Amino acid sequence: MTELTKSDLFKVYNSKPETAMDKTTRVVRQMVDEETEKRDAKNSRLRNARLEREANTPPAESTTSRKKGAS
């Protein structure tokens, strides 16, 4: 008699194959995630450039004049 093993007793069923809608959802989520990463990287780069520019420029003096109100 042959010796029974775990793989012989229990058949392993693969999960259902990926449907077209599942594939589309996966691809779209991947695209959106990539766009989000690119946008975050761009925002971070621009923010750092702005902060560096503000740190290197002296503050502008206020030269605004007040208008006298008509009373």
CA atoms lying within 13 Å on the CB side of residue 29: 6
pTM: 0.54
Q: How far is CA 65 from CA 32, 59, 68, in A?
A: 50, 18, 9
pLDDT digits (tens, 9 = 90+) for 15-70: 788 899 999 999 999 999 999 999 999 999 999 999 999 999 887 776 666 666 66
pLDDT of the residue at 68 = 66
For residue 45, give the 3-state DSSP assignment: helix
Question: Phi and psi of 54, rounded to 5°?
Answer: -65, -35
